[in-house]
Structure 1
Amino acid sequence: MMAAALPVSVCIPVKDEALNLPACLAGLGDFDEVVVVDSGSTDGTVQIATAAGATVLQFQWDGRLPKKRNWVLKNHVFKHPWVLFLDADERMNEAFANELRSVLPGTSHAGFWISFTNWFMGAPLHHGDVFHKLALFKAGAGEYERFAEDAWSHLDMEVHEHPVLEGTAGEMKSRLEHQDYRGLKNYLARHNEYSSWEANRFLWLHSADASAWLPLNGRQRFKYRYLDRWWLAWLYWGVSVWIKKGFMDGMNGFRFGMLKRRYFGEIRLKIQEARRTGKSA
């Protein structure tokens, strides 16, 4: 007998994800609602999603709030009480689906943090700083952080923002996989955009009143308080590579730690430049 569909709607925000999307969709057989929110893809992404039976919504960003994830939360009525946001380069697995099936019916939480096994340069990283995000929550329990970024944001989707929920958040034990088939070139270009966003958010937070810090969790508060310090990049590198044993992933673990250290260094340089020139990062 086939297991009943999970009480979870999967939402996948995309733009030009034809390389990653097939593998993401292929693992979603336990879910009977998959919503793909597209931003004008030109590479066959929409055709891939439609052929797989997903509901496709088109989102056109006007440079203002809401961004893509909050837009779909406000404009689509999901079939199920839980919404799982996946990126196209993230992969479902049987262990995670089984944990959803056992945990969700009796939980009192409004959301769950999810951890990922990150793939880098074609190999999985089993150690180091584990990537995790609050990507599973009840529909109507909250939305992603909103703040005045119209003047400097070039990202049409919430990336580093976390959902702000009414209720507690638990943590799933099973990991999903994060594997971007577009390779290192795309990784570097994407993180150049992210570092500008992080620098601008740092500057905005340090010019705003205290209420702007309230939605941030402890890790976010620490990061945005000290992003302009020279030692933060080295602290992240030391914790990730040595304390959290990234070195056990061999040379790939060292390479990944090196690029993350560079990323934090680039944020600091962009903050310094913005302060000197008066322009956004």
Structure 2
Amino acid sequence: MMIPISVVIPVKNEEKNLPRSLDLLKEFSEIIVVDSGSTDKTKEIAEKWGARFINFEWNGKFPKKRNWVLRNERLKNDWVLFLDADELPSKEFIEEIKERVGREDYDGYWITFINYFMGNQLKHGDKFRKLPLFKVSKGEYEKIEEDSWSHLDMEIHEHPIIEGNVGSIKAPIIHNDYRGLEHYIQKHNAYSSWEARRYLKLKEEGFDQLNKRQRLKYKLIEMGVMPAAYFIGSFFFKAGFLDGRTGYDFARFKANYFLQIQSKIKEFQK
């Protein structure tokens, strides 16, 4: 029996990560690769593995890539799982969701990720989890008004809004990007620009619609202490130091990400 979940993989130039990902998803009944104009062998790899390939051209307005798929593509299954090409389902995860999707008590699931940084696993520090698995009829990523300033064609910091009960999957997904540190830095440079512009937009409109964790993040950014707060919280209070040099490097890079946001806010204000 194929797993009755449609897996959607948003990509751009993912020839290094995509073969590994598609090989682990062979039990799922539908795989859709949604591409943003890749110039490498992403399309050939997707078609070789039998995935449905869609070329997405963003017009700069809502919806972005994930919501566009939900609104414009007819999926074979009632459930959808959004995965990046560098997110690899473990065997335990696949076995657990086989049992979970047949139940009617939940409409979506939080998933925990095991992160790798510079080739090494992070066992401590700030844990990473998302809500990428839900019933198609019950969820959509939140809409952020960004037509005039966003340059990212995919939902990055937007969270799914689920109508119904949300549970948790215990088994993890492995997050391991094989494109290296240079790509990590480029990616977070783009993300920090988005975060800075979103902060300025929220300052005009208000922060009331955000959850408690998001409001705290932007409050610490406004105070200029978010880089230090993240490093101290993740490396010391959440025991990131137990991961040794890798834990230290990751906490420093993440703290620098928040420093970029704070610095860009000042620059954009000028």
DSSP 3-state at the match of 2:71: helix
CA separation in 2, counterparts of 1:239 and 1:5? 42
CA apart distance, 1:131: 1.4
The 1-side partners of 2:144 and 2:15 are apart by 31
Q: Quote how far apart the aligned CAs of 1:107 are.
A: 4.3
Report the counterpart of residue 222 of structure 2 in structure 1.
228
Name which of structure 1's ranges 18-27 and 140-149 shifts more when overlaid on structure 2.
140-149
SS in 2 for 1:105: coil
Per the alignment, in what secondary structure is the counterpart of residue 237 of structure 1?
helix
Could you tell me which of 53, 70, 75 is aligned with 2:72? 75
Cα drift, residue 209 of structure 1: 4.6
Three-state SS of the structure 2 residue aligned to 1:238 is helix
> 2:118 matched to 1:121?
yes
Query: By how many angstroms is 1:35 displaced?
Result: 0.6
Structure 1 residue runs of 4+, over 6 Å off?
A: none
1:17 counterpart = 2:17? no
Give 1:207 deviation, angstroms: 0.5
The CA distance in 1 between the partners of 2:67 and 2:120, in whole Å, is: 33
Contact between 1:14 and 1:36, CA under 8 Å: does it hold in 2? yes
Aligned pairs (5 A) from 1:196-215: 196-209=193-206, 213-214=208-209
Asked if the contact 2:144–2:158 (Cα under 8 Å) also holds between the matched residues in 1, the reply is no
1:273 aligns with 2:270: no
> Aligned partners of 1:218, 1:102: CA distance in 2, in Å?
32
Tell me, in whole angstroms, the C-alpha distance in 2 between the residues paired with 1:257 and 1:55: 38
Higher alpha-carbon deviation: 173-182 or 104-113: 104-113
Matches within 5 A, 1:7-86: 7-86=4-83
What TM-score results when the alignment is normalised by the length of structure 2?
0.96
Q: Is the 8 A contact 1:228 1:271 kept in 2?
A: no
Shift of 1:106: 2.1
Kindly report which structure 2 residues correspond to 1:127-138, keeping only aligned pairs within 5 A, or say none: 127-138=124-135
Q: How does 1:154-193 map to 2 (within 5 A)?
A: 154-193=151-190
Match of 1:263 in 2: 257
Unpaired segments ≥5 residues, structure 1: none
Q: Which amino acid aligns with 2:194?
A: W
Measure how far apart 1:229 and its partner are. 1.9
Paired residue secondary structure (2:205): coil
The answer as to whether partners of 1:114 and 1:135 remain within 8 angstroms in 2 is yes
| TM-score between both structures, scaled by the size of structure 1 | 0.93
1:249 alignment partner in structure 2: 243
The answer to whether the 8 A contact 1:144-1:163 is kept is yes
Unaligned runs of 5+ in 2: none
Q: Distance in 1 between matches of 2:109 and 2:260?
A: 31
Match in the other structure for 1:240: 234
SS at match of 1:207: helix
Counterpart of 1:228, as a letter, is E
Tell me how far apart the structure 2 counterparts of residues 31 and 48 of structure 1 sit (CA, whole Å): 17
Code of the aligned partner of 2:28 = F
CA distance in 2, matches of 1:32, 1:220: 36
> C-alpha separation between the residues in 2 aligned to 1:225 and 1:172?
31
